[in-house]
């Protein structure tokens, strides 16, 4: 590699454009990354961040514009070429084989025929020197999400890149793990490496990044020094308008309120070798309150949701109670008929059937609860009724779409999520359980959804929110419990909750104390 001494920027992007159909995902983007800087790429979902990064890493080809590397124009037509140039990437969604060890996974991507032992030794040395200790012989399936991310980072560093692209790296980490990562990044910066840091968490960008480029609707709306901005001025640049803050009126008379959702000693054996067993989970959610469940991804939240929603039945009928009824043996339809509503984490393929229209997707979760309104005699679907109900939800939730009744898959993630949440809110459920309500949803829509959940609770429903986004949970919850390795901590009232406290629990401190504390609580109530 020719290093042009004095060339200002390691990477320079000029007028880079990518068009999908009629949509300009990236519209003449200009961007420069200097040596030894941490450069933030900010933007809402759909702003074009991923498209830009994919072009830099060679997975997408730009329509026009140029990329300069060390001052030389280059064409990056594949990730292999990007790696050879010295561009490394750590993806948000890991690409690791769970049944292989860390070292084997690294060897697969290095593809240079070196013996596993050598690679393992190198990986171990590198990981300790960067303060990201890693056991190369551990099976990936046994590792936490944070540890898996380390493998990805080490794998990337082994290729001695000059530019490292990190896509939302802290979204799967506890606050403490994130701090560790920041130290590593600062160390890399001091070694003269450049980092392109993609995030929507403004606080960490302010804390770490030297410069920021903000994207909106595929265009660069500004370059700035994040240290000189406030979180709200950055948010304004990202969204283009003021984001309405979520209001959480105080919950009153909660002590006397009835428990609408109770989970008592819920256990579940792992369904597959890599799924998490649930152990002795206890929780109750009263009418009028929002309870949040925090936790790093993959600690049993999905298994918990399946058990509570009734997609998977329980042996112990009393382990889940909705409005006082024991529902462990009832399926999801039976639980819905008792007034419960559910929003799963995956939108396409779980919360909605991708190839079906929105009106049909309305029927998906409400064919039984609203049978009288939507299904006529002899099981005939009332097309007009579901169409007008779908339009009502679209209006209330401000769902943006291209056709009157489009297929679910044609909506952007955020808009589909608004529809799926709106579909359940429209029923005014007395118990609402939501997994990742605003994952991948833009700031404006996220605020809308969060406000709607709080209002539902204040109008007398019990709301349970499972989320990996701590900011979100602090914004909407009246108390927070933490799930770690299939166990749930006791509820911590929001007044006494701090990021540090929750973070420690997310990392596995004080495991297994939930049962004891909850038992004490119940005794108190009785």
355 binds another protein (CB under 8 A): yes
Among 81, 139, 239, 297, binds another protein (CB under 8 A): 81
Which listed residue (367, 401, 458, 501) binds another protein by CB under 8 A? 367
Q: Which of residues 287-326 bind another protein (CB under 8 A)?
A: 309, 311
Alpha-carbon distance 200 to 213, whole Å?
12
| CB nearer another protein, residue 206 or residue 347 | 347
DSSP secondary structure letter of residue 277: P
- Determine, following the binding rule CB under 8 A, whether residue 268 of this chain makes contact with another protein: no
In angstroms, the CA 462 to CA 468 distance is 20
Dig out the tokens for 474 from the structure. Answer: 């602090």
Write a three-state SS string for 458-520.
HCCCEEEEECCCHHHHHHHCCEEEEEECCEECCCEEHHHCCHHHHHHHHCCCCCCCHHHHHHH
Nearer Cβ to another protein, position 70 or 170?
Answer: 70
CB of 77 to another protein, least distance (A): 6
State the nearest-atom distance from the C-beta of 63 to another protein, in Å: 6
What is the side-by-side order of every strand in the sheet holding 194-199?
Answer: 87-90, 163-167, 194-199, 38-42, 211-216, 219-224
Q: How far is the CB of 118 from another protein (least distance, A)?
A: 25
- Among the residue ranges 64-72, 104-112, 210-218, 245-253, the one whose residues contact another protein (CB under 8 A): 64-72
> Within a 10 A sphere around the Cβ of 378, how many other Cβ atoms?
5
Closest CA to 357 of 410, 401, 405, 392: 405
Note whether 168 and 199 are within 8 A (CB): yes
Among 287, 363, 431, 465, binds another protein (CB under 8 A): 363
- Residues 130, 184: Cα–Cα separation, whole Å: 6
Q: Does 110 bind another protein (CB under 8 A)?
A: no
| Contacting range for another protein; rule: CB under 8 A; set: 73-81, 259-267, 428-436, 488-496 | 73-81
Choice between 254 and 356, CB closer to another protein: 356
Applying CB under 8 A, does 360 fall inside the site for another protein? yes
Q: Are 102 and 151 in contact, with CB atoms under 8 Å apart? A: yes
Is 331 a binder of another protein (CB under 8 A)?
A: yes
Lay out the site mask for another protein across 84-103 (x = CB under 8 A, - = otherwise).
xx------------------
**378 binds another protein per the rule CB under 8 A:** yes
- The residue (of 73 and 511) whose beta carbon lies closer to another protein is 73
Q: Of 349, 404, 460, 493, which lies in the binding site for another protein, with binding defined by CB under 8 A?
A: 349
Nearer to another protein, 62 or 136 (CB): 62
Which of 8, 75, 271, 274 binds another protein (CB under 8 A)? It is: 75
DSSP state, residue 439: T
Which of 115, 250, 253, 379 contacts another protein by CB under 8 A?
Answer: 379
Query: At closest approach, how far in Å is the CB of 398 from another protein?
Result: 24
Among 368, 396, 504, 517, binds another protein (CB under 8 A): 368
Token pair, residue 93, equals 């969604």
Size of the site for another protein (CB under 8 A): 46
Pairwise CA distance, residues 40 & 31, whole Å = 11
Listing DSSP states for 219-259 in one string gives EEEEEE-GGGS-HHHHHHHHHSSPPPPPP-PPP-STTTS-E
H/E element holding 125?
helix 116-129
Q: Which of 88, 175, 295, 351 binds another protein (CB under 8 A)?
A: 351
For residue 68, give both structure tokens. 């300069």
Nearest residue (CB) to another protein, 127 versus 365: 365
Shortest CB 95 distance to another protein, Å: 19
Restricting to residues 34-63, name those near another protein by CB under 8 A: 62-63
Compare residues 80 and 460 and give the one whose CB is closer to another protein: 80
Q: Give first-to-last CA distance, the chain, whole Å.
A: 73
Which position has the token pair 């995902």? 25
* Token pair in block for residue 110: 């290095």
Nearest Cα to 246, choosing from 257, 238, 235, 256?
Answer: 235
Closer Cβ to another protein, 197 or 342, answer by number: 342
**Which DSSP string corresponds to 197-221?**
EEES-HHHHHHH-SEEEEEETTEEE
> By C-beta, is 180 or 367 nearer to another protein?
367
- Cα angle 163, 23, 232; round to 5: 60
Min dist CB 289 to another protein, Å, is 25
Chain residues binding another protein by CB under 8 A are 62-64, 66-67, 69, 72-78, 80-81, 84-85, 309, 311, 331-333, 336, 342, 344, 346, 349-356, 360, 363-365, 367-368, 375, 378-381, 383
């Amino acid at each position: 590699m020719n290093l042009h001494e004095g060339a200002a920027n390691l990477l320079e992007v000029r007028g880079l454009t990518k068009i999908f159909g009629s949509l300009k995902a990236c519209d003449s983007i200009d961007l420069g990354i200097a040596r030894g800087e941490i450069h933030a790429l900010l933007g809402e979902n759909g702003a074009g961040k991923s498209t830009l990064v994919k072009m830099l890493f060679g997975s997408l080809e730009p329509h026009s514009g140029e990329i300069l590397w060390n001052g030389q124009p280059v064409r990056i037509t594949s990730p292999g070429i990007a790696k050879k140039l010295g561009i490394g990437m750590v993806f948000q969604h890991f690409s690791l084989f769970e049944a292989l060890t860390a070292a084997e996974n690294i060897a697969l991507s290095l593809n240079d025929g070196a013996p596993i032992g050598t690679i393992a030794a190198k990986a171990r040395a590198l990981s300790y020197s960067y303060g990201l200790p890693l056991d190369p012989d551990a099976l990936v399936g046994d590792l936490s999400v944070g540890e898996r991310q380390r493998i990805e980072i080490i794998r990337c560093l082994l290729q001695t890149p000059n530019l490292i692209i990190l896509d939302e790296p802290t979204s799967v980490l506890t606050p403490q793990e994130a701090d560790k990562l920041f130290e590593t990044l600062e160390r890399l910066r001091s070694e003269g490496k450049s980092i392109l840091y993609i995030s929507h968490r403004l606080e960490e960008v302010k804390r770490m990044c030297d410069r920021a480029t903000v994207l909106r609707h595929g265009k660069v709306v500004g370059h700035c020094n994040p240290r000189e901005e406030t979180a709200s001025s950055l948010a304004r640049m990202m969204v283009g308008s003021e984001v309405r803050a979520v209001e959480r009126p105080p919950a009153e008379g909660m002590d006397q309120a009835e428990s609408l959702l109770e989970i008592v000693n819920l256990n579940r054996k792992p369904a597959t070798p890599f799924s998490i067993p649930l152990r002795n989970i206890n929780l109750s959610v009263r009418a009028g309150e929002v309870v949040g469940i925090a936790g790093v991804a993959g600690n049993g939240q999905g298994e918990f949701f399946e058990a509570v929603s009734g997609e998977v039945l329980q042996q112990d009928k009393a382990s889940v109670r909705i409005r006082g009824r024991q529902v462990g043996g009832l399926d999801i339809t039976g639980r819905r008929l008792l007034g419960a509503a559910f929003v799963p984490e995956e939108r396409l393929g779980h919360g909605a059937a991708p190839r079906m229209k929105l009106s049909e997707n309305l029927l998906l979760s409400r064919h039984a609860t609203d049978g009288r309104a939507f299904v006529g005699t002899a099981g005939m679907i009332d097309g007009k009724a579901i169409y007008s109900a779908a339009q009502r939800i679209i209006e209330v939730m401000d769902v943006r779409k291209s056709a009157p009744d489009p297929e679910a898959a044609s909506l952007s993630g955020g808009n589909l999520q608004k529809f799926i949440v709106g579909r359940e809110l429209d029923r005014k459920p007395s118990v609402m359980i939501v997994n990742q309500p605003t994952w991948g949803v833009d700031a404006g829509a996220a605020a809308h959804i969060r406000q709607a959940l709080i209002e539902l609770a204040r109008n007398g429903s019990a709301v349970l929110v499972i989320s990996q986004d701590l900011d979100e949970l602090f914004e909407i919850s009246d108390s927070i419990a933490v799930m770690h390795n299939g166990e749930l901590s006791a509820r911590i009232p929001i007044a006494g909750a701090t990021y540090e406290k929750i973070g420690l629990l997310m990392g596995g401190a004080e495991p297994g104390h939930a049962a004891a504390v909850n038992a004490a609580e119940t005794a108190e109530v009785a």
